[in-house]
Amino acid sequence: MNTLFLPALEHLQNRGRQIAAGIAVLCVGLLGAVYIGSSPTAVAPRDAAERFVDSLLALMTIEEKIGQMTLFTTDWEATGPTIRAGYREDIRQGRCGALFNSHTATFTRELQRIAVEESRLQIPLLFGYDVIHGYKTIFPIPLAEAASWDLEAIERSARIAATEAAAAGLHWTFAPMVDISRDPRWGRVMEGAGEDTWWACRVAEARVHGFQGEGLGRPDAVVACVKHYAAYGAPTAGREYGTVDMSERFFREYYLPPYAAAVRAGAQTVMTAFNDYDGVPATGNRYLLTDILRKELGFAGFVVTDYTAINEMVPHGVAHDEQEAGELALNAGVDMDMQGAVFQRFLKKSLQEGKVSAAQIDTAVRRILLLKYRLGLFDDPYKFCDPEREKRLLLNAEHRAAARDMARKAVVLLKNDRNTLPLSRTARIALIGPLADNKSELLGSWSAAGNAADCVSLLEGLRAAGRGTVMHARGCDIEGTDRSGFAQAVATAKKADVVVVAVGEAAHMSGEAASRTRLSLPGVQEELIEALVATGKPVVVVLMNGRPLAIPKVVERATALVEAWWLGTEAGNALADVLFGHYNPSGKLPMTFPRSEGQIPIFYNEKNTGRPYDANSKWTSKYIDSPNSPLFPFGFGLSYTTFEYGIPTASPTAFRPGDTVRIRVEVRNTGSRAGTEVVQLYVRDLVGSVTRPVRELKGIQRIHLSAGERRTVEFTLTEADLRFYRRDMTWGSEPGEFDLFVGSSSTHGQTVRITLLP
C-alpha cells in the first residue's frame, strides 16, 4: 500500500470506520486520481498538515473535491436555525464542504455529525458567519470603533467577538472589511475604518489579530476573511455593487494597502468583491487574485467569492453563461464558491472539456483542507460545539464591560456651546426623539446574533446613571411625515432644564444595499429639532447613524452635538457615561462630514490643483454656492477639556535614507478636567514627480492628561514613510522638502519643515 494514503486512512479508522471500508475508499480514491489525471506523488509534502491533506486528496473523487469548493447557507426562522431541502444530502454525499449562517453549538454539532459520521471520507465542515462587530455581545459598528483611535480596544473587540463566535460553533468570520471609502452615500462605510489608508491598515491588522488570537486551532480563535477584494468601497455614484473606475496608481496607493496589511497580519482567507476593476469583475480578475494577491502579496490561504458573485459575472457581461463564469473564476484564482453552486453544477464538465485543469482543482481543495486541518477539525470536529462553553461565554459580564468601554471611546463630541455638556446628574432632562427609547436600532447593521432585548436604551442608561428627572416623549418616527407627537415633545421640553434629542437613521438605512442620495436626517426629525430649539432650552442632539451625515442646519441650531453612531449592546450605559461626564469623550472622526451631498466625494487628503482655492478669486477650484471646507473634517473631535499644542520640532531637519527623524511637540491640558487627546501627525510632500496630497496621516498617539498637565509627544519618521508611486510607477521616495503637521485634526496643527537628502 502506498504510504501516501496512510494519514487519511488513519483518520478514517480513528473516526470509527471498518478497515474494509477504508480499503474500499482507497480503491475508489485511486480510481478518482486516475480519472482526473493527477499524480499522488506529484507534490512533495513539507509538513504533517500537507502530508495528511495530500493523502486525503488522493482518496477523493472529483465530485468530493468540488464539494470542498462549495459553500452553502443555512437559514434562521422564528423557531431557530434551519437548513434548506437537499443540503443535508449534499453534506452526506460530500457535495458541500462549508456552510455559512450556521451557528449555535447544538445546530453546528448536528450538521458536523452528518459530515463526519455519514459521509464517505468524513471530512469536517467549515462554519462561517458575518461576525462583524460582535457575535452576541454587540460592539459599536466598525466605523465607530475606528473613531476611538484605540487599536488595543479595537483588537479586544474582535477578540471577544471571536471568543463568542467560536463558542457558538463557528470557525470563520467574514471580516474584517478593509475597503477604503470616501463616499458616505455608500451604505457600507459603516463596516470599514473610514477614508484614510494609513489608519485603515492599522485597524485591519488589529482586527485580524483579534479574530485569530494566539493561533488557529485554539477554541477561542476564528479565521479572518479580508473583504471585499478589491476597491469595493469606490463604486460609481456611491451605489452598492457599482462599477469601480480608477487608475492603477490610485488603486495601489490608497485602496490596495489595507488588504495587504491584513494579509501580512496573517489572515487566512480573502473574499472577492462584487465590483469590476479595470473592466473585469473582481471574481474573475486574474490580475487581482493571482498576480497581486498570490504573487506580490504572498497570500497562501484560500479565496472565497461573495454571495453568488460567480453567477453575477453573466449580467456583468463578461461570461456567456454560468459555466463560463465558473471557469473565469477558477482560472483567476477563486477557490470556493459562495452559494451560487456554479462549481458544483459545472466544474466537472469544464474539467472534461479541458477548460480547467485537475491541478487547479487540487490546488484549491488543498488550500481549503489545510485550513480545516490547522483549525484542528480533523482531530476533533466537535471542538467548537460545546453548549456549556457557549452558555458561559455569551454576553457575560466581562464582555459587556468591554463593549461599554469601546462604546464610550467611539463617541465623538462635535459641538458644545456654553459647556452644555456634561449634564448635571440632578438636572431635569427631557429626552426626546425616535431613538431615545429604542433598542433594536442600537445594534446597527450586521449585528450577527445580537438581540435587541439585551441592549440598554438611552432612556434606561440616563435613568440608571442620573439622580434627577428624565422625562420622555417620542416626538416623531425615524421615517415618515407624522408630526402629531411634536406638541407633547415641546411640552415636555418646556418642563426641563435641558433637552436631549436622540435622532438618526434606522439600522436598515446603512449597510449593504443601503446607498442614499440624501444624507440629511430622514423624515421630520430636523423639524422636531427646530421645534425643540424654539423653546429656548439648551438642546443636545445625539446622532445615531452608520455614516457621515450632511446636517448643517442641525449643527447651527443645536447647543451641543454628539456623534454616537450605533454603539451596540451597551449603548445606553456608554452614552450616559459620556453625557453625565463620567467619561470624557475622546473620539475623532474617521470620515469627513460634508456640508451637502454636492461635495461628495469629499476627503481630507485631496490633491492640490493648478488653481487651488482662493476665497478672493472666482477663477480657482471652488463652488459658487458653498465653501470647499467640510462640515466637520477628518480627525476632528472635541473634549470636555481643552488642549494646547506647542510648535513642533524635528531632529534632524535634513536627513538621508536610513536616518530617523524625531518629531516632538508639547501638548498641554489647559482645561479643568482630565482628558484623552488623539495627537495626529500629517505629512505633505511639497514637490513630487507626480501630484501629492495636501496632507497624509502618518501617525497618531492617544495621550491622557490630567488638568494642567503637559507632555512632550514624540513621533519617528523614516524615508520609508515618504514613499509613493513615482512617475514611472516604481515605489520609493524622492529627495526634497516636506511639511510636517502635528495637531488635533486634519485641518489643525503647527508645521515644521524637513528635507530628505539624496
Q: Is residue 707 part of a domain?
A: yes
Q: Which residue type, as a one-letter code, is found at position 11?
A: H
Residue pLDDT, tens place only, 15-56: 654 333 333 334 434 333 333 334 334 444 479 999 999 999
DSSP 3-state of 78: coil
C-alpha cell at 293: 494577491
Does 485 share its domain with 593? yes
Mean pLDDT, residues 564-574: 98
Mean pLDDT, residues 136-152: 98
In whole angstroms, give the CA distance from residue 300 to residue 357: 20
Q: Where in 163-209 does DSSP place strands (E)? A: 172-173
C-alpha cell at 135: 457575535
Could you tell me the pTM of the whole model?
A: 0.95
Mean pLDDT, residues 592-607: 98
Residue pLDDT, tens place only, 726-740: 999 999 999 999 999
Of the residues 61, 77, 110, the one at which a domain ends: 61
Can you say how many angstroms the Cα of residue 476 is from the centroid of all Cα atoms in its chain? 32
Mean pLDDT, residues 389-395: 98
Does 686 share its domain with 592? no
Residue tagged 498617539 (cell numbers): 701
Does 664 share its domain with 744? yes
Round the average pLDDT of the chain to a whole number and report it. Answer: 94
Does 430 share its domain with 556? yes
Can you say how many angstroms the Cα of residue 488 is from the centroid of all Cα atoms in its chain? 40
Does 580 share its domain with 447? yes
Does 661 share its domain with 747? yes
Residue tagged 453552486 (cell numbers): 341
pLDDT at 417 over 80: yes
Q: Is residue 575 part of a domain?
A: yes
Number of domains composing the chain: 3
Least confident of 23-32, 97-106, 404-413, 421-430: 23-32
- Interhelix angle 397-410/571-579, rounded to 10 degrees, is 50
Domain of residue 714, residue span: 643-756
Does 502 share its domain with 413? yes
pLDDT at 133 over 70: yes
Q: Is residue 618 part of a domain?
A: no
C-alpha count within 13 angstroms, C-beta hemisphere, residue 50? 9
pLDDT at 227 over 60: yes
DSSP 3-state of 156: helix
What is the pLDDT at residue 418? 96
Pairing of strands 498-504, 748-756: unpaired
What is the pLDDT at residue 46? 73
Q: Is residue 17 part of a domain?
A: yes
Active site residues: 306
From the list 111, 116, 219, the residue with the least C-alpha distance to 163 is 219
Does 592 share its domain with 677? no
Q: Considering the chain, what percentage of its residues have pLDDT values greater than 90?
A: 93
Residue pLDDT, tens place only, 511-561: 999 999 999 999 999 999 999 999 999 999 999 999 999 999 999 999 999
Of the residues 61, 77, 103, the one at which a domain ends: 61
pLDDT at 610 over 70: yes
pLDDT at 195 over 60: yes
Mean pLDDT, residues 194-206: 98
What is the pLDDT at residue 80? 84
Q: Are residues 586 and 409 in contact, defined by beta-carbon separation less than 8 angstroms?
A: yes
What is the pLDDT at residue 40? 39
Per the rule left: phi > 0, alpha: psi between -120 and 50, beta: everything else, 37 is: left
Pairing of strands 710-718, 660-669: antiparallel
pLDDT at 680 over 90: yes
Reported as type and span, the H/E element at residue 539 is strand 539-544
Residue pLDDT, tens place only, 613-640: 999 999 999 999 999 999 999 999 999 9
Does 554 share its domain with 664? no
C-alpha cell at 403: 463593549
Of the residues 599, 623, 653, the one at which a domain ends: 599
Q: Is residue 201 part of a domain?
A: no
Q: Which residues contact 602 (CB under 8 A, 6 or more apart)?
A: 182, 592, 594, 630
Can you say how many angstroms the Cα of residue 40 is from the centroid of all Cα atoms in its chain? 41
Asked whether the bond before 601 is cis by omega within 30 degrees of 0, the reply is yes
Residue pLDDT, tens place only, 59-82: 999 999 999 999 999 998 877 899
pLDDT at 14 over 70: no
In whole angstroms, give the CA distance from residue 500 to residue 235: 36
Residue pLDDT, tens place only, 394-416: 999 999 999 999 999 999 999 99
Does 533 share its domain with 653? no
Q: Is residue 9 part of a domain?
A: yes
In whole angstroms, give the CA distance from residue 721 to residue 162: 33
In whole angstroms, give the CA distance from residue 176 to residue 194: 13
Alpha carbon distances (Å) from 434 to 84, 236, 443, 524: 38, 32, 15, 11
Which domain CATH number covers 446? 3.40.50.1700
Which domain CATH number covers 662? 2.60.40.10
Distance between terminal CA atoms of the chain?
65
Does 495 share its domain with 579? yes
From the list 574, 586, 591, the residue with the least C-alpha distance to 675 is 586
Q: Is residue 295 part of a domain?
A: no
Q: Is residue 390 part of a domain?
A: no
The DSSP call for residue 442 is G
Does 586 share its domain with 452? yes
